Every structure is written in structure tokens, then in C-alpha cells.
Structure 1
Amino acid sequence: MVHKTPPIRIFISTGEVSGDLQGSLLIEALFRQAKKAGILIQIIALGGEKMASAGAKLLGNTTGIGSVGILESIPYIIPTYLMQKQVKHYLKEHPPDLVILIDYMGPNIGMGNFIKHNLPTIPIFYYIAPQEWVWSLGSKSTAQIVKLTNRILAIFPEEARYFQSKGAKVTWVGHPLLDRMKTAPSREESRRKLGIQPDEIAIALLPASRWQEIKYLMPILFEAAQQIQAKIPQVKFWIPLSLPEYKIAIETAIKTYQLNAVLVSTTSYYQTLEVLSAADLAIAKSGTVNLEIALLKVPQVVVYRVSALTAWVARHLLKFSIPFMSPTNLVQMQAIVPELLQEKATPENIVQEAIELLTNPQKRQEMLNQYQQMKQALGEEGVCDRAALEILKSLSL
């Protein structure tokens, strides 16, 4: 087919490792659906390597400049500002036909407001809106999100309900990981590939996808791992590497804590899934990975910690309070997996929860049953294609 018209230009903005993954899945679906419809599209993006591999032209790499917390975000303010300044200048010179924001609240609200003000005719979609529906700290951010977006494509049922009640146009598409997990390897296949012996207890350790987690979380997780190893000698830890720049820090920590551990350099998402699906248990930081672990039917303990000062400011000045942090618990607002947050994130508590899940078949089964119910609440497969169709449909082609 000869395309006489120029390609439709779509700009996608996201940050961090999980945003890069979600962005890449959406990009694949956009190209797939555009091809079916005989539409030529071009995607430019702020994101990471996965999005570039899926076919986007990267204007800046944001996977390494993300954080959770107030103090923790300070080192990233200037790099984020400079990258955004450059991209905003580019967008003014080369306006896209459509904009998609994915999560990444602070920077994306700034980007959305800039586009709304300077390029007011361009439709803005928010796919995977920031989790205001969980920890709404007053309605300022929510109001901004509603004002700057033409449509929110929600992945959680509660997210859809919340933004709809605030006046946004919302379409609930379901959770994109449902699509990704269709091709996940089986436990048997993964254990065989990784060379895990039948009598070996494999524990997946997921300490970090941000630098702050290397500092605040990894020592706690590794100390807990050391204690578990002392109690259960047939344990071996498997650590998928989220970003290559963390390799030396993690290898050094493995030696320091004398862990019987393998650091798996994951060049593909599939390799990460192999480590997760092979595990008898996962001990993980809070994040999208918790849902992946749940969909692979692996029991897990979720841990998170920020600096003591950030925690104090959040609680006492911002009156910050959340029912749950892990996406696994957020789907139905139910305590499916144990969450050890801040002061509760101690090696002793992690060890206690981990040993309980390894040795109590009833407790394991209960968690697996709840995983199954949670999966049903995530919607139907074909999420990314549904989202892509909604986006392309809006261009009135």
C-alpha cells in the first residue's frame, strides 16, 4: 500500500523500569493495530531501551532517573528538568498528532500541562494514571490529571471508578500484564533451564529497580536472606538484574552477606520471568513485579522502605496514609500478600513471613487461591490491543 499522507506522530512519555516495560507493550500493540488498519504511525518517546526495541525513537532515556519519596527525588530534579526542557523544545518544533502519558506522575503532569498550554489541539491520553486513587493527598494532582487529559485508560477497576467520579472520561481496559504472561515459561521449563535441582529451594530476590532501593532496601533483604540460608541450608537465591548499572553493587553485596546466590543478567524480559516462575518463593520490593509474581503463582513477601525523613514528612506533614502499596493487594483492595513497609521492613519480619510461606502448605495454598480471584478482577486478555484501538480511534481516521 502506498501511503501518500505523512505518518501519524505519537509522542509517549514515561519513566522508570516499569514504565518502559508498559510503554513497550503498548507500542507493539499500536504498531500492530495501525498495520491492520492500514495506518502509518511514527512513535517518539521519553522512556527506555524496551520502548526503543519496540520501535520508538527515544528523545531521552528516563529509566535511571526515577525515585519514590521526597528526599529521594532531589538528585533527579535537575536531570529530569533538563531532559524535559529539551523534549518540550523538540515538541514545539515538531508537534505530534497525539500524546500518551504513562504513570510517572510529577514529570508527566508537567509535560501534560505544557502540551495543553502550548499545543492545545493535541489530544492527551493518560494510560496507567498515577495512583492518586490509592494515596490521594488532597485533590490538586487529581484535578490536574482530569483537566489535562482527553481520556484516561485505566488498568485497575478502582482506578477507573475513582477518576470517573472526579469527572474524567475513562475507559477501563484491564491490566496489560495479562497479555505479557500468556507467553511466560512454566515452572518446570524454567527450573530445567536454570539448572535448579529438584531438592533445591529457589528464592527469587528482587531488591531494586531504583538506586534508592539499593541503599534502603537491599541491605535489609540480603540480611534476611542470610538468616534464611542459615535456617534452611538447601536454599539458593536467584536475583534478576533490573538494570546493568546495579550489577557491581549487587555482586559486592552477595559476597559481603556470603549468600548462595546467582545474579542473572537479564537481557530480555523473558529471562526475568524464568527466574520468577522457577521460584518456590519471592521476596520483592513493592512494584509491578509483585503482579508478575502473583500471575506466575509464586508465593511472595513484599517489602518497601524510604528514608526515615521522607517517611516522617509524609506521615506528619502530608498526612500520607495508604491502605496498601503492592499492586497485588490494590486490585481488589485486599491483603493477599504480606506488606512489610518502613519500620516493619526488618530482616526478622521478612524471615518470619518467608519461612511461614515455605513451611506452611495451607498458608501457601490460601495465597494461591487469592491470586486466582485477583487475576479474574484484572480483566480479559488483549489489554494492550484494546488500549491501542481506543487511542487510534480517537484520531478519527
Structure 2
Amino acid sequence: MFAFLAVVLYAPTCTHALLHHLAVGTTNGQALYSLEMDDESRKVYTIQARDAGGPSPSLVLDRSKQHLFSSRPQDGTLTRHSIAPTYELISEGTMEIPSSCNTTSFGSLKLSSSTQNTAIWGTASTGTCSIVFGLSPDGYDTLRSQEIAGDVHSIAWSPSGRNLHALDSRTSQQLSTSISNFRISDDPTLQDVVGVDVLINVTDASQIVAHPTETLMYIVTKDTNELVVLSLAGDTLLNTSTVLVRYRLLPSSLDATEFHTSSLAISASKSTLWTLSQSSRQAIITSFNLNVTTGEVINVAARASWQGFGEGQLTAAPFNDGDVVAVANSPTGYVTLLGLDQSTLDTVHVAEDRGIHDYLHPMAVDKNRREDLHMAASKIRSYGRALIDDYVTLGDSIWID
């Protein structure tokens, strides 16, 4: 039986700490790194490095926050690591995901976890065939969905934790995008498909996230560089009585055909949504103000850029202060920490160490004419960046505390 514990597990919190920690792996299997962020001095630095048994493009913590899981797409396995008091990641063994698609080697293997159960969840995709899977933290119990004739490499949880939404990016090569909705019961099977939502005129969808408390989901499109917001009926299927709301991610002064959008994330405060778009020479990060109560997009809060190429991914910090987000692998080999400063007036210049933060270039944002001229202007703020390796591509980052 694939039943889950219903107890509340101990999870350390560092909401008011000045030091926070995150991990990132390399996609060539060289190492797993632990990093420390000092939010007072606005610096981030590597504190531990551990040889990895294989590529780690996707990382996830279990619900207890005591173990970190890394993925190895090429052989369809996960590795469980304990987190030492020094934040060293110690390998405890490897587990296999359920076999599928006539292969044990996948192009992508993305991991997730839920606050409502103790399992590790994920998607495995060859690019044309995919499954959604679940494993118990010890790897002894596994389950999988039916094979999906598509490329599923992004999933999102409903606020209740009872529905898992799987985005099929392969269908987006046509004129619509499909999202499969799995019901997750106390004893799930991944055979209980509530339905499949079809989004008309949404192409090149690359990632999906769900609002943590409201019935909204957000999608970014890769080549059209849009943010698409959709409303659910309850926390299950698309609310057909509402329309999709779209937002352009790039300013009109840029040639959007040179960019692609790869990632988005919602801050722990639920007040900011981040998106990341990249060209061969430049990355652009955009922050949107969200209505904290409804999750609706209010406006573009701020935008900034930096030089360099990389397929970056965003991961929101688990603490509210600063609306901090980690950017892994943009540029290639770097981990960058950014936040949204909404306390800086247009007429005030805050002294800072430009030697550390001068990679970040603010970009103009169209102002609402009705906006009070004395209102604070939002600004994307650097909390530092760390070079992990000049020549090695990084996978996703994960916040430990």
C-alpha cells in the first residue's frame, strides 16, 4: 500500500535568521554544493562541496526537510542525501523510478514534494513519452501514471494538495497546450485522472506553477515570452467561465524573437511573481506585484538585466523578507540571489558595494499615470552571486532554510 503518514513532521525554520542555505548540483555529475546567504551583508558563498554520483539537474527536499533528493535522468534514478548540521549533503543510497516508455534513460527528470504527504513526486520524459511518478522517501513503494504521449517536465500542486497538474509542453508545439489533472487521495494510485485541460492559443509553454492558497495557475511560454494566468473551478479543472489573462514579459524596446522564457516562481510572501527570460547574450528578470488575497497580477513591479548566457531556473526562498529568489545557471555556472526592494524612493540613492552587485542593471518600467508620485518605487535588489564553475552547467537550486 502506498499510504502516507498523516502526522506533522518536525521542520526547522529560519524565518528571522540572517543566514539562509541552499543547494545546487551540476549536470555533469561532478558535485553537489551547499551555499550560504548572509542577507545582512548581501553575500552568498559556497560552504560545502560533495562529490555527486551523477548529474543533479533537479533537487527537492522531503516534507521533513531532513533529506534532499537529487535526480539522474540518464539512468532513471534518485539519490537520497541527509543534511548534516554543517549543511554537507551525505549520500544515503539510490532508488529507481518506475520503468516506462520502454527505457530507463530519460531526457528530463523533474522532482517535487507536497506539504500534504511524505512522498517524493516527479515527472520523467524522453521528449515524446512521459510519466508522472511517486516514491516513498525510503524508495520501497512506487507508483506511476499511464504513459503520456508528450513532454511533461513541469508539475504544480493545487492548494489543497489533492490535485497534481502536469503540463505537456509537447502539445504546445501546436496551437494548444494540455494539462493533465491527477487526483491525489490518502492512498493514491496516479490512475485517477480528473481530466485534461486544453488551453487554446497557448503555445511553447515551458513551466507551470500554482498559487499556494488560491485557485490560480501561472504559465510562462518559451518563445512567445508571455505570462498566462488561468483560473480553476475549485482546485481541479479549468474554470471555463473565465478567460485566460496574458501579460507580455519583455519591454517593446527589445527584439522578443531573440529571447526565450524559461522559468517562473512565486515568493513566500505571495506578493511577488518572478519570471526569467534569456537571449544568447543577456538575461532579463521581471517581478510582478500580486494581490496577496486573490493572487491576481496587479502590475509589473520592476525589471532588471545582466550579461551572459545560461539556461537559468528560478527558486523562491521559503522566507518572506525581501521576496528573495535564487537564479541558478544564469550565466552558466553562477548562482545569483535577488529580491524586491519596495522601500526605495526614486529620489533616494542607497549606498552599496558596487563591486559585488554591479552585474545587475535596472530597466525602466512603464509607470501608471494614476500612481502617486510619492509612492515608493520598487527595485530589484542583488543579494550577491557565487561562481560555482566557469565551464559546468548547473541544475535547479533548492532552499534548505
TM-score (norm 2): 0.26
RCO (CA 8 Å, sep 6+): is it higher in 1 or 2? 1
Would you tell me which structure has more strand in proportion to its own residues? Answer: 2
Point out the structure with the larger helix share. 1
TM-score (norm. length: structure 1): 0.27
